[in-house]
Chain A
């Protein structure tokens, strides 16, 4: 099976800092992959390079067999790479409905009809449990609901690769359980790349885990293998048990 996403020698410098350093990475279709690592390890920079929000200093990104390194972000989104933001950035002054209508109306290739947009929006809001809040301004939703709205917008893009950047940050425990169910649902149709600090969530969801440290991949493997990996424990957990 060929990988959905590969990066070769991907690097990004900020001044003298090598935030992402010569990363070779491969992601199989249908996988849920978690990316973990200490703060400043380069996780967000790495997924920003993949989504096209920032340009790499060197290296190459291949998505579904095509070199996308030089493509602008919006073209990558159209090819199926969706990114949900670490810092919630829904359109606060627009209703939840309009927030989701933006991705829905763009992905509709066939219909010009209002009904098609409405159906698409309501299905994305239903899946995230926000349907009864459709007409509320997004800025007035609770923080947890704004995070879910962010996911709904990602879903509405019908992505092949959904990148979730710390999606459970700031969620209550009860909301996290629903969220895990939701991600499992999403993974039936899409590959998921998940940056996450909450280890129980990572352990429950991920098929494989990639550990970043100082801009490089430190380790990669199944949750069990990562849990046992001494180098990871030292870098990430700080102490050897």
Chain B
């Protein structure tokens, strides 16, 4: 896993990044915008995969980390008038702090209890957003004003509302997170995380403090999800409470399951697949969720390890 074929793995990941870069110049406008959004949400899925895929902890509360980033960045711009980079970092910091606190509490439980506890905390977070409507805009949400969404580098300024700038910013974030997750997964720490997933008791008996390792994974996962949320607020200009609802805790789980849990590229594939299935089917029928549901059932029946997970199992054993 971590010793074999590093060159192949890095080449593949750099190839995917290059492909996404080239696509920016080829795609028609509508799909161009859609792909930018998908890349940002794929970061969310990658953060989820970190915990679910590699550590084996199934959380149903990750909307809370995404929303922490979304509101952390959005409120910093709207209420405090911070610049885009500062707001982005603020979003990540909010996510990291929330993840640390939730991790300390929720990691006392495992399995089903962990699912329920994370879901409850996420629900509390969602209700808090609604309760403090005077700051958060409640269920209406807030719009991040266009003039504030500018990246300033000395004399030049990049407007994040420009489609190309937006696409490239999303691609930069996606690439960094992809390479960071690849590096983590291949590192010694990644090996410990997988060991915890496979057999926590045995890992303890090899001298590992599994609680601290899991807590660190929750914080890394939460921070990545928050980075996605913060980028979403700054790139697409909308901060809404629906992103904190339970639906946005389940979506990353679906994306990761579809693409393949514990594969580095699975989250992108899953998010992409799901978006395009919805996009195509909603063109034909208003009952598109029915078709999505059937597609999901077929996938689970015939590809229980997700798209990339099945490919790895059958053909490409070296996939990270």
Contact = CB atoms under 8 A, between A and B. Distances in A.
A97 B198 contact: no
Chain B: number of interface residues, binned into ranges:
20 to 34
Contacts of A92: 198
A74 B208 contact: yes
A153 B205 CA distance: 10
Contact of B206 (A72, A77, A97, A118): A77
Max chain B C-beta neighbours (<10 A), residue from A73, A85, A101, A102: A102
Given A105-B188, A105-B191, A77 B207 contact: yes
B209 interface: yes
A220 interface: no
Interface of A: 51, 53, 72-74, 77-78, 82-83, 85, 89-95, 97-98, 101-103, 105-107, 117-118, 135, 153, 157
B194 A94 contact: yes
B205 A83 contact: yes
Contacts of A107: 207
A83 B203 CA distance: 11
Interface of B: 1-4, 188, 191-192, 194-195, 198-199, 201-210
Contacts of B210: 74
Nearest to A156: B206
Tell which of B4, B201, B208 has the most Cβ of chain A within 10 Å.
B208
| B188, B194, B205 pick with most chain A CB within 10 angstroms | B205
B69 to A, nearest CB: 32
B198 A102 contact: no
Contact of A91 (B2, B3, B198, B208): B198
5 contacts: A89-B202, A94-B1, A95-B1, A102-B203, A106-B208
Given A91-B199, A105-B188, A98 B207 contact: no
Nearest to A80: B207
B195 A94 contact: yes
Nearest to B212: A74
Contacts of A153: 206
Contact of B3 (A73, A78, A85, A97): A97
Contacts, number: 65
Contacts of A83: 205
Contact of A74 (B1, B191, B194, B207): B207
A89 B4 CA distance: 24
A53 B205 CA distance: 8
A185 to B, nearest CB: 21
A147 to B, nearest CB: 14
Q: Which 10 A-B pairs have the closest CB atoms?
A: A77-B207, A91-B198, A105-B188, A78-B207, A103-B206, A89-B202, A74-B204, A74-B209, A74-B207, A73-B204
A77 B206 CA distance: 6
B247 to A, nearest CB: 32
A98 to B, nearest CB: 6
A94 B198 contact: yes
A91 B207 contact: no
A83 B202 CA distance: 10
B4 A135 contact: yes
Contacts of A91: 194-195, 198-199, 202
Given A89-B199, A94-B1, A101 B191 contact: yes
Contacts of A106: 206-208
A157 B1 contact: no
Given A77-B207, A101-B191, A102-B208, 17 more contacts: A53-B205, A72-B204, A73-B204, A74-B208, A77-B205, A85-B202, A90-B202, A91-B199, A91-B202, A93-B198, A98-B1, A103-B207, A105-B188, A107-B207, A117-B188, A118-B3, A157-B206
Contacts of B194: 91, 94
B41 to A, nearest CB: 29
A119 to B, nearest CB: 13
